[in-house]
Amino acid sequence: MKKRILRTRLCDMLGIEFPIVLAGMGSRGKATPPALVAAVSEAGGLGVLGGAGMPAEDLRAAIRQARALTNKPIGVDLLLPATLAEAPPSRAAVRAELRKKFPEHVAFVRALMAQHHLPDAEVAHDFVLSRSVGEGHQKTPQEEQVQVVMEEDVQVFASGLGDPSWVVPMARKKGMKVMGLVGTVGNARRQIKAGVDIVIATGYESGGHTGKIATFPLIPQVVDAVAPVPVLAGGGIGDGRGVAAALSLGAVGVWVGTAFLVSDECAIPDEHKGQLVNGGSADFEIGRIFSGKTMRGYRNEIIRAWEKSGLDPLPMPYQKILMDDFNEAAATAGRWDLHSNPAGQVAGLLKQRRPARVIFDELVDGAIASIEELKRGITAV
Ligand SMILES: Cc1cc2nc3c(=O)[nH]c(=O)nc-3n(C[C@H](O)[C@H](O)[C@H](O)COP(=O)(O)O)c2cc1C
């Protein structure tokens, strides 16, 4: 068989064969588990582990599991706070405030739980929102996570949110590349100031938290704004045509999330994979119901009930804490149909579950075929 070649300068920067990166997805370790991260790296791309919300030692264990499966480069994506001083209060404190300040919202969720016969459940760990307490220099959970990433055998750090400037010097010392996720040109400029090596621009179509600007207008604007810093394109890329389009827009590679959610290695519930392969693009809508921030995911019965209620979603962190506990109750009851399922519009293109290797190879082969087809089918002189 002819050796496939699809190379950009991203491949040289990261030491990978193909410019295709698994987007870090921090969904309790389920969306980008070590097996999926390793499968993408083994296939010649870069597997990125979504570590958001993982306690530091769980993150270390996940990195080591991925490392046991591949010697190729891997990355870790974390959500950093806007500033280190901005660590919010504990879940217990937020729950108490919710009951006091927003009894209507709490009562609405309790009624939803009763209607669906869900058990009482609360998210046990206090990672995301715990504040470093006490005197002295106790580390925030995010600082602990970053420390783990620096101590382990990881080649790329991706910052999904916040300001990575304090991570850059540590990463440089280690020879690690830093990438920063953005949804606007302004944020891209801020990431450059923070010192990132690569900007990841993700459009409105994306799964999970997303901005207002679609991938097509976003990518060329970010490419122009941050040149010569390279840009990875994300949001709505699900086959080789999407990869070729991203490269045409000036990106040096792609950051692919949703398309890998239907891989065999991905550990999200089967029911959620079913929503992805059976749903159309319009079934994946933006809402603030599950996290308080604009997030794209499968439009389920719970989202519809909130909309009918006339209640506005609460600001961060209230809505997230309220609905994290609801999700926990739905998960405990195995009612994945009621649980949030963050995913992007490109789900409409996904028709079957397959091994990650097959999904990856199709992205590569499809991109090569698309580029060949462009050369054959278009006269441009
Ligand atoms: C289930 C899920 C969880 C996600 N979690 C994170 C996260 O923790 N950190 C992050 O930077 N981006 C996260 N994202 C966004 C992805 O990294 C990526 O930008 C997006 O999936 C790209 O668009 P696509 O889904 O159309 O491929 C998440 C996306 C999904 C679908």
Q: What stretches in the chain show pLDDT beneath 70? A: 1, 82-88, 126-138
Q: What is the pLDDT of residue 67?
A: 98
CB 79 near ligand 1, within 6 Å: yes
CB 183 near ligand 1, within 6 Å: no
Q: What is the pLDDT of residue 132?
A: 40
Tokens of 232: 């990875």
**Residue written as tokens 């300001």?**
163
Domain 9-86+140-270+342-377 classified CATH 3.20.20.70? yes
Q: What is the pLDDT of residue 160?
A: 93
What is the C-alpha separation between 136 and 126, in angstroms, rounded?
Answer: 21
Strand segments, DSSP code E, in the chain are 20-22, 47-50, 74-79, 156-161, 177-182, 198-202, 208-209, 231-234, 253-256, 284-287, 295-298
Q: What is the pLDDT of residue 88?
A: 57
Q: How far apart are the CA of 113 and the centre of ligand 1, in A?
A: 28
Q: Ligand 1: which atom is nearest the Cα of residue 341?
A: 1
Q: Ligand 1: which atom is nearest the Cα of residue 48?
A: 17
CB 324 near ligand 1, within 6 Å: no
What are the domain boundaries of the chain?
A: 9-86+140-270+342-377, 91-132+286-332
**To test ligand 1's pocket by mutation, which of 49, 159, 206, 231 has the most ligand atoms within 8 angstroms of CB?**
206
Q: How far apart are the CA of 380 and the centre of ligand 1, in A?
A: 36
SS3 183: coil
Q: How far apart are the CA of 18 and the centre of ligand 1, in A?
A: 20
pLDDT tens for 26-40 read 988 899 999 999 999
**To test ligand 1's pocket by mutation, which of 25, 281, 345 has the most ligand atoms within 8 angstroms of CB?**
25
Q: How far apart are the CA of 96 and the centre of ligand 1, in A?
A: 30
Q: How far apart are the CA of 23 and the centre of ligand 1, in A?
A: 6
Q: How far apart are the CA of 235 and the centre of ligand 1, in A?
A: 9
CB 68 within 8 A of CB 74: no
Tokens of 258: 């949703």
Q: What is the pLDDT of residue 134?
A: 40
Question: Does the model's pTM come out above 0.85?
Answer: yes
CB 235 near ligand 1, within 6 Å: yes
